[in-house]
């Protein structure tokens, strides 16, 4: 944890250095503003001393008092100006740094592999990115508005009070030091319970989200009373922790209030004794009261400030852990761009493990000729989709190599590799953007006319045109406003628009009904022309016309041939599957 905290501060420091001018103006303005605020009470001391001086003529006293008021007004005006400079400087500084930190997190996160995203919750990753920048903002705010003003004001107050009276200065400094020390200790003690309360709050939020998502199940299975009782029990656990932490604060605030009263009475009593002996003036009482109010104002929530800094560093450390996790798939130094002229693909003795105990491919070899259309079939978990993902380098092979036109894909840039592959997944996901933007994602430079042509080929233009906003219709998060078949046709339109040399179709018609499948099969056949194509399918009727069919089982090629050849194997797996799908279950 400490190591990640140090690394977090390094990330913050490095990001802040880019905007050191506005950062310096913020710091400088705060120091000057606080300094001016601490100097003003000296003139109030003089003001009350003039009022108390019975030897002055009233007219003379009024002139002196007006001059002092003008000086106080000038000091307050300058203080106001420097606070406003600080406001604008910190707005410039924080907004730029937070934007940079969020962009840095986004870019680093997106370069992680599919395995990384499979092992992390989406909500957790989003929270970590947002809290990283938010932590920087909160920590800088606490330094700007609490820690630095406290340090500057206490330094000036200590100097002034020591000059007026050593014992009063010593009393205030010792009291403040002990007060801050106990605040610091209390903040650390209370933090462990705040964390437990936050964890319990997160748990109740998760339960609430889960039950809202499963609202229909609760209704269907009479789960209302069970869920209500379960949620109420968890809320009771949270209530006990919340009450305990809040009461800790109440007791501590009571103690703080008592100490403040004790300091004020003690200091004012000492001031009376010193005044009696002629060491202090009436104006010094105004000075002391002003300084005591300033001290109380700045130290009252010091434990909360420290606790918030701890919490924000802990929140940010979760993102730091990700930033410190090396990318699983990286471009080699001086990696070259992929040059695709033919689109031939070759697997050479490839091993692939999702983890050490789960081998998917072992010594797998496969050669796909230029513009050849092959189909991969087999049971779930046999390695079909893994083969497709390895070609796109969504995972790196454990051993062996994959070549495209003789170029090892591990030695070329990922951008150039993906630019030459069009992938239509089994369950296509769409951005919460317009249909035009989603289809154009396959080719960002495409004109609207090109998008419409691709949509017509994918048989989705008709349903898009029937929508009130047509191609400007927003599809909802992950495309939830569209049916599965509509999403799939949009994904195919995106692939048609991309027009890459290598095409991978992973169950591309799985979400289509029979009539839609017939409509779209023609578009897919057009799309596959003059391309190297790998089709993953369970529905065998869609792959009869490919050049070669491979039956994959346990990461091995079990059977290989055309549809006609494979149906001739009396005891073959393909023939068995074909008979099941063509003739039905018997």
Specify the pLDDT at position 510. 62
**37-46 pLDDT, tens digit each:** 999 999 989 8
586 confidence band (pLDDT: 50, 70, 90): very low
- Give CATH for domain 428-499: 3.40.50.300
- Given a cut of 50, whether residue 299 has pLDDT beyond it is yes
Q: In this predicted model, which residue has the larger pLDDT, 188 or 170? A: 170
Q: Which two tokens stand for residue 133?
A: 């920048």
Domain limits, the chain: 2-323, 335-420+502-511+532-586, 428-499
- Look at strands 532-536 and 548-553 and give their pairing: unpaired
Q: Which CATH number fits domain 2-323: 1.20.1560.10, 1.10.760.10, 1.20.1530.20, 1.20.1290.10?
A: 1.20.1560.10
Q: Which two tokens stand for residue 142?
A: 């606490």
**511-537 pLDDT, tens digit each:** 566 666 676 677 677 778 888 999 988
CA 238 to chain centre: 26
CA 345 to chain centre: 37
Distance from C-alpha of 284 to C-alpha of 281, rounded to nearest angstrom: 5
Task: Output Rg (C-alpha) for the chain, integer angstroms.
Answer: 36
Distances (CA, A) of 121 to 116, 220, 326: 10, 28, 19
Two domains, one topology: 2-323 and 428-499: no
**Neighbour tally for 194: CB within 10 Å:** 18
Q: What percent of the chain has pLDDT over 90?
A: 32
The DSSP element (H or E) to which 536 belongs, if any, is: strand 532-536
DSSP secondary structure letters along 232-276:
HHHHHHHHHHHHHHHHHHHHHHHHHHHHHHHHHHHHHHHHHHHHH
Please give the mean pLDDT across all residues of the chain: 86
Specify the pLDDT at position 328. 82
pTM of the model: 0.78
The DSSP element (H or E) to which 177 belongs, if any, is: helix 166-213
Q: What percent of the chain has pLDDT over 70?
A: 95
Distance from C-alpha of 343 to C-alpha of 417, rounded to nearest angstrom: 11
Specify the pLDDT at position 585. 42
Distance from C-alpha of 455 to C-alpha of 494, rounded to nearest angstrom: 8
- Given a cut of 90, whether residue 486 has pLDDT beyond it is no
Specify the pLDDT at position 512. 62
Instruction: Select from 478, 486, 535 the least CA-distant residue to 513.
Output: 486
Distance from C-alpha of 409 to C-alpha of 407, rounded to nearest angstrom: 6
Distance from C-alpha of 467 to C-alpha of 473, rounded to nearest angstrom: 7
- Give CATH for domain 335-420+502-511+532-586: 3.40.50.300
Q: In this predicted model, which residue has the larger pLDDT, 89 or 302? A: 89
Distance from C-alpha of 319 to C-alpha of 8, rounded to nearest angstrom: 9
Q: In this predicted model, which residue has the larger pLDDT, 34 or 271? A: 34
- pLDDT, mean of residues 580-584: 66
**Neighbour tally for 265: CB within 10 Å:** 10
The terminus-to-terminus CA distance of the chain in angstroms comes to 62
Q: In this predicted model, which residue has the larger pLDDT, 58 or 391? A: 391
């Amino acid at each position: 944890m400490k190591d990640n905290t140090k690394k977090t501060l390094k990330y913050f420091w490095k990001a802040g250095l880019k905007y050191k001018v506005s950062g310096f103006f913020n710091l400088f303005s705060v120091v000057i503003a606080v300094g001016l605020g601490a100097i003003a009470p000296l003139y109030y001391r003089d003001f009350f001393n003039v009022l108390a001086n019975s030897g002055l003529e009233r007219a003379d006293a009024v002139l002196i008092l007006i001059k002092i008021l003008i000086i106080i007004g000038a000091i307050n005006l300058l203080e106001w100006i420097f606070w406003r400079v600080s406001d604008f400087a910190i707005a410039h500084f924080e907004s730029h740094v937070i934007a940079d930190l969020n962009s840095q997190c986004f870019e680093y996160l997106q370069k992680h592999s599919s395995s990384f995203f499979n092992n992390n919750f989406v909500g957790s990753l989003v929270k970590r990115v947002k809290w990283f920048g938010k932590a920087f903002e909160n920590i800088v705010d606490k330094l700007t508005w609490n820690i630095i003003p406290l340090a500057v004001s206490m330094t000036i107050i200590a100097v002034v009070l020591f000059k007026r009276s050593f014992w009063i200065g010593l009393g205030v400094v010792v009291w403040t030091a002990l007060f801050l020390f106990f605040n610091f200790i209390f903040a650390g003690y209370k933090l462990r319970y705040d964390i437990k309360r936050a964890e319990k709050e997160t748990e109740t939020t998760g339960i609430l989200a889960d039950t809202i998502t499963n609202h229909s199940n609760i209704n269907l299975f009479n789960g209302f009373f069970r869920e209500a009782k379960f949620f109420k029990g968890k809320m009771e656990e949270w209530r006990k922790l919340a009450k305990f932490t809040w009461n800790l604060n109440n007791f501590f605030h009571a103690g703080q209030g008592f100490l403040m009263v004790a300091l004020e009475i003690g200091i004012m009593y000492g001031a009376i004794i010193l005044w009696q002996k002629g060491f202090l003036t009436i104006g010094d009482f105004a000075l002391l009261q002003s300084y005591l109010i300033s001290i109380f104002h700045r130290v009252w929530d010091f434990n909360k400030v420290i606790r918030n800094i701890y919490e924000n560093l802990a929140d940010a450390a979760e993102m730091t852990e990700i930033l410190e996790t090396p990318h699983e798939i990286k471009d080699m130094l001086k990696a070259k761009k992929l040059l695709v002229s033919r689109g031939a693909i070759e697997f050479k003795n490839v091993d692939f493990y999702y983890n050490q105990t789960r081998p998917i491919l072992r010594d797998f070899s496969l050669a796909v000729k230029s513009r050849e259309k092959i189909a991969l079939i087999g049971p779930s978990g046999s390695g079909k989709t893994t083969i497709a993902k390895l070609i796109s380098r969504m995972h790196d092979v454990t051993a062996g190599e994959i070549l495209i036109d003789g170029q090892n894909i591990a030695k070329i840039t990922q951008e150039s590799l993906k630019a030459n592959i069009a992938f239509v997944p089994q369950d296509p996901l769409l951005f919460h953007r317009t249909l035009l933007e989603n289809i154009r994602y396959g080719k960002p430079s495409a004109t609207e006319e090109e998008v419409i042509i691709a949509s017509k080929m994918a048989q989705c233009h008709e349903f898009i045109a029937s929508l009130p906003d047509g191609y400007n219709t927003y599809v909802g998060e992950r495309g939830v406003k569209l049916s599965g078949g509509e999403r799939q046709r949009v994904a195919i339109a995106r692939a048609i628009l991309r027009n890459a040399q290598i095409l991978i179709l992973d169950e591309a018609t799985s979400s289509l009904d029979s009539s839609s499948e017939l409509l779209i099969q023609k578009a897919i056949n057009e799309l596959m022309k003059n391309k190297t194509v790998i089709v993953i399918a369970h529905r065998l009727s869609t792959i009869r016309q490919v050049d070669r069919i491979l039956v994959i089982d346990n990461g091995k090629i079990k059977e290989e041939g055309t549809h006609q050849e494979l149906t001739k194997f009396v005891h073959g797996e393909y023939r068995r599957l074909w008979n099941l799908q063509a003739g039905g279950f018997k």
